[in-house]
A and B are shown apart, each in its own frame.
Chain A
Amino acid sequence: AQSVAQPEDQVNVAEGNPLTVKCTYSVSGNPYLFWYVQYPNRGLQFLLKYITGDNLVKGSYGFEAEFNKSQTSFHLKKPSALVSDSALYFCAVRSPSGGYNKLIFGAGTRLAVHP
Chain B
Amino acid sequence: DTGVSQDPRHKITKRGQNVTFRCDPISEHNRLYWYRQTLGQGPEFLTYFQNEAQLEKSRLLSDRFSAERPKGSFSTLEIQRTEQGDSAMYLCASSFGEGGRANEQFFGPGTRLTVL
Q: How far is the CA of A43 from the CA of B43 in the complex (A)?
A: 11
Instruction: Name B1-35 residues within 8 Å CB distance of A.
Output: 3-4, 31, 33, 35
Q: Which residue from A4, A43, A94, A99 sits with its C-beta under 8 Å from B109?
A: A43
A104 neighbours in B (Cβ, 8 Å): 45
Check A34–B44 contact: CB distance below 8 A.
no
For the complex of A and B, the 9 pairs showing the least CB-CB separation, nearest first, are: A105-B42, A44-B107, A102-B45, A43-B107, A32-B102, A100-B100, A43-B109, A46-B104, A51-B102
A36 neighbours in B (Cβ, 8 Å): 107
| Interface residues, chain B, with chain A CB atoms under 8 Å away | 3-4, 31, 33, 35, 40-45, 48, 55-56, 58, 91, 93, 97, 100, 102, 104-110
Q: Which residue from A41, A92, A99 sits with its C-beta under 8 Å from B42?
A: A92
Could you count the A-B residue pairs with CB atoms below 8 Å apart for me: how many are there? 60
Check B56–A44 contact: CB distance below 8 A.
no
Q: How far is the CA of A46 from the CA of B102 in the complex (A)?
A: 13
Q: How far is the CA of A4 from the CA of B91 in the complex (A)?
A: 19
Q: Which residue from A96, A101, A103, A106 sits with its C-beta under 8 Å from B55?
A: A101
A100 neighbours in B (Cβ, 8 Å): 100, 102
A94 neighbours in B (Cβ, 8 Å): 102
